[in-house]
Structure 1
Amino acid sequence: MQKSKKLLQVGWMRITRFSQVSEQLYLLSKNQQPFLLTTMRKTLLLFVLMLLALPSKLWAQENDYRIHAVFLYNFTKYVQWPSAGQSGDFVIGVVGNSSIYDELVKITNGKMAGTQKIVVTKFKSADAITNCQMLFVSSQVNFENVQSKLAGKPVLVITEKPGLAQKGSNINFVIKENKWRFELNENSTRQAGLKVSAELSKLAISV
């Protein structure tokens, strides 16, 4: 009985955290997707049903990367790329071994970034990075190597490691008060030739 009660308490904490993230994602997307809140509620219900079937560590990891993937997809609506990046496919790259790749493939399947088809590509290392509009950098990858590879290129670089926004990452995921938030380095974003909307800036932690 005590074990079951503890599992329910842990599950509720996770549900609360996911609900808080859903609210932030809704605020980010409500102008473009009026039915997203209903979708998020359905997704939340799905995760509640999955709680009893997934081990603790596995649930946390997979859920976090799904959240990150939804954020990345929504970032495409609130960042403007130079004209050269607005033709052909819209490529979201993932460098390093990260579960976010699979989540991105599922979430962006059949989706568009404006008039561009979204394509998700995996790079094994910084040296292997080719043309892309957005890049997620796994915490296992040396960020300085990625910076050198992308210097002067209009690529939105997104990381998941404390302190990287201060080192030049455009967007960095962090947890604040048990909520997923994202830091925004507006200076490095401008230097990359990217324009961030006021709506996105308001939701971000500015560094």
Structure 2
Amino acid sequence: MKRYTAVTSAKVLLLCFICSLSWSQEVATEARVKAAFLYKFCNYIRWPVTVFPDAQSPLKIAVINDDVMAHELQHVVYDRIVAGRNVEVYSFSSVSELEGMHVIYVAGEKFMQVHQVLTLLLEKPVLTVTEITNGKRVGMINFVIENDRVRFDIEKHYAEKSGLKLGAQLLSVARKVSTSD
């Protein structure tokens, strides 16, 4: 009986380990897809020239509350250029550190934090990307999972109020584009 319990316990632990690895891989895979999207978004957006101190200034992307996403994004943008600019990735846990960023990705659905970021950046030329599923105010681009695939919706009016120009190619591949509040 003890041997059976030990073997069964070992099997249960092994199964838990395999399940956690599988879950980890799913999280990493979803983060990898979202990171690739974030990088691609940057290629189809024009910021006002005044947001960059000079022609050599990098494009800065901030990730809030998602170290896995920050790591994946760092991997995706390594040695890549957007509109002649190097890309830098920053990981933050606080909204107070966002000065000078060009893209901000807010992970999860912590309403207060998302609301803080969106309020802070209202009408500023910063691309905001969220992943809200409950219908509350979202960023200019909002990730959604549809049929087990990462898709995105665009709130074009938020981008326009902020002075960002969204390319037609980006708009054409969005799941949904909203043009008014």
Same structural fold, with TM-score higher than 0.5 when normalized by the shorter chain: yes
Match of 1:127 among 96, 103, 124: 96
Percent of pairs with identical residues: 25
Could you list the per-position Cα deviations for residues 95-144 of structure 1 after superposition, in whole angstroms to 9, with x for gaps in the alignment?
Answer: 12341100111111111111111011112211221211111101154211
AA partner of residue 200 (structure 1): L
**Corresponding residue for residue 171 of structure 2:** 201
- Cα 1:140–1:176 shift into 2, 3 Å: closer
**Corresponding residue for residue 146 of structure 1:** 117
Match of 1:92 among 53, 61, 64: 61
C-alpha contact 2:43 2:83 (8 A) present in aligned 1: yes
Check if 1:103 corresponds to 2:72: yes
Check if 1:73 corresponds to 2:39: yes
Query: How far 1:150 sits from its partner (Å)?
Result: 1.3
**Corresponding residue for residue 160 of structure 2:** 190
Paired residues in the alignment total 155
Query: d(CA) in 2 for partners of 1:65 and 1:187?
Result: 26
Query: How far 1:168 sits from its partner (Å)?
Result: 4.2
Query: How far 1:179 sits from its partner (Å)?
Result: 2.0
TM-score, with structure 2 as normaliser: 0.79
C-alpha contact 1:69 1:104 (8 A) present in aligned 2: yes
AA partner of residue 130 (structure 1): E
Query: d(CA) in 2 for partners of 1:114 and 1:162?
Result: 32
**Structure 2: stretches of 5+ with no match in the other structure:** 1-17
Structure 1 counterpart SS, 2:43: coil
Query: d(CA) in 1 for partners of 2:79 and 2:19?
Result: 29
**Corresponding residue for residue 173 of structure 1:** 143
Could you list the per-position Cα deviations for residues 4-56 of structure 1 after superposition, in whole angstroms to 9, with x for gaps in the alignment?
Answer: xxxxxxxxxxxxxxxxxxxxxxxxxxxxxxxxxxxxxxxxxxxxxxxx99822
Query: d(CA) in 2 for partners of 1:93 and 1:134?
Result: 6
AA partner of residue 41 (structure 2): F
TM-score, with structure 1 as normaliser: 0.69
C-alpha contact 1:93 1:135 (8 A) present in aligned 2: yes
C-alpha contact 1:96 1:140 (8 A) present in aligned 2: no
Query: How far 1:163 sits from its partner (Å)?
Result: 4.0
Query: d(CA) in 1 for partners of 2:19 and 2:86?
Result: 35
AA partner of residue 146 (structure 1): V
**Corresponding residue for residue 7 of structure 2:** none
Structure 2 counterpart SS, 1:130: coil
